[in-house]
Amino acid sequence: MIIETERLILRDFVTNDFEDIHVYASNPIVVKYMLWGPNSKEDTQSYMNMIADMQKQQPRLGYELAVVMKENNQLIGGCGIHIIKPSQGELGYCFNHNYWGSGFASEAAAALLEFGFRELNLHRIFATCRPDNIGSAKVLQKIGMKYEGHIREHMRHNEKWHDSYQYSILENEYV
């Protein structure tokens, strides 16, 4: 499973990616808005086990992919698209802090939209982000998603309830 963009390769994770994943998954700044982390090594191993199972699914419903820079083969983050209902996919991404602010998340997320509509034949792709995760909201807007609404206190993490903003794009809006 390989997707190529101008500067990036999106590919299936492999066992050797452990250290590169753990660098960002254990960073409190990176996971501030996630429902997991900061990861222990055991947490990262569980994540890798979950990904390995996903890669074997028949039919495959989840694509959790490594984001690698073409120029130096550096793994800079992860992104994913998951078929959660027939014809509907959920998008997500998480990047190593050293590589924020260079358009990589937008480039990877746009490639996942193309994959979702053209290869998986999805009808609707959505994503959620925390209301104060401005960077993530901007990525979703940049790739053409529309704001759908504010979901109130639907997620429980670290003994607190959390809100989300939800964004989506439909196949007939994707050009």
Ligand X SMILES: CC(C)(COP(=O)(O)OP(=O)(O)OC[C@H]1O[C@@H](n2cnc3c(N)ncnc32)[C@H](O)[C@@H]1OP(=O)(O)O)[C@@H](O)C(=O)NCCC(=O)NCCS
Does residue 145 touch ligand X according to CB under 6 A? no
21 scored as a contact of ligand X (CB under 6 A)? no
User: By CB under 6 A, is residue 103 in contact with ligand X?
Assistant: yes
Q: Enumerate residues 115-134 that contact ligand X by CB under 6 A.
A: 129, 133-134
Q: Which is nearer to ligand X, 4 or 57 (CB)?
A: 4
Task: Report the residue from 45, 55, 106, 166 that binds ligand X according to the rule CB under 6 A.
Answer: 106
Distance separating alpha carbons of residues 17 and 48, to the nearest angstrom: 9
Q: How far is the CB of 131 from ligand X (least distance, A)?
A: 11
As a whole number of Å, the end-to-end CA separation of the chain is 23
Cβ of residue 130: shortest distance to ligand X, in angstroms? 7
* 88-95/124-129 β-pairing: parallel
Q: Which two tokens stand for residue 131?
A: 């209301």
Amino acid symbol at 17: D
Q: Three-state SS for 96?
A: coil
Give, as ranges, the residues between 29 and 48 that touch ligand X (CB under 6 A): 30, 33
Strand ranges (DSSP E) for the chain?
Answer: 2-4, 8-12, 62-69, 75-85, 88-95, 124-129, 146-157, 160-170
Stretch in the footprint of ligand X (CB under 6 A) among 66-74, 103-111, 114-122, 147-155: 103-111
- Site for ligand X (CB under 6 A): how many residues? 20
Contacting ligand X (CB under 6 A), which of 136, 143, 167, 169? 136
Residues 6+ apart with CB under 8 A from 57: none
The least CB distance from residue 41 to ligand X, in Å, is: 20
CA–CA gap between residue 66 and residue 164 (Å, rounded): 25
Residues that bind ligand X (CB under 6 A): 30, 33, 93-95, 100-106, 129, 133-136, 138-139, 142
